[in-house]
Amino acid sequence: MPWHTEYLTFETKTQREYVRITDQVSDIVRRAKILEGMALVSAMHITSGVYVNDAEDGLIRDIDEWLERLAPFREDYRHHRTGETNGDSHLKNLLVGHQVLVPVTKGRLDLGPWEQVYYAEFDGRRRKRVIVKVWGESP
């Protein structure tokens, strides 16, 4: 069974940012030349995540506000005793999830009509990577 691996690199301008990466993942699937299989999209940092949802600006703001309510920035996280200040980012990662598995059908991502793949950054302004690993049946 053939495997194909590529990496996406991000350096967001803000602390928290939600980046639609569906097109980049689709391009990787095309280059993989897999007809039927799976695409794993996984954040390689524990202060970011990957998720699938609607590409609607209001929803993205709602998700951001929801995450901030559930895992707000606070000065008193025990993690901050290590010299870090991103305890909330680690918690937001747990809520959003670290990776998604997307089916590949007939050589394309098999997403629902409104589904998009997103990279969620919670501790930005530095270089981070996402791994995309595609495997399955090739022609």
Range of the domain at 131: 3-137
Average pLDDT, the chain: 97
The dihedrals phi and psi of 102, each to the nearest 5 degrees, come to -115, 130
pTM for this predicted structure: 0.95
- Nearest-angstrom CA–CA distance, 37 and 58: 33
- Report DSSP state, residue 85: -
| pLDDT of 139 | 86
Q: Domain with 58 in it: what CATH number? A: 2.60.120.460
Query: Would you call 41 helix, strand, or coil by DSSP?
Result: strand
One pLDDT digit (tens) per residue for the chain, 139 residues: 899 999 999 999 999 999 999 999 999 999 999 999 999 999 999 999 999 999 999 999 999 999 999 999 999 999 999 999 999 999 999 999 999 999 999 999 999 999 999 999 999 999 999 999 999 999 8
Number of domains in the chain: 1
Helix (H) or strand (E) holding 6: strand 3-10
Q: What is the token pair recorded at 44? A: 């390689």
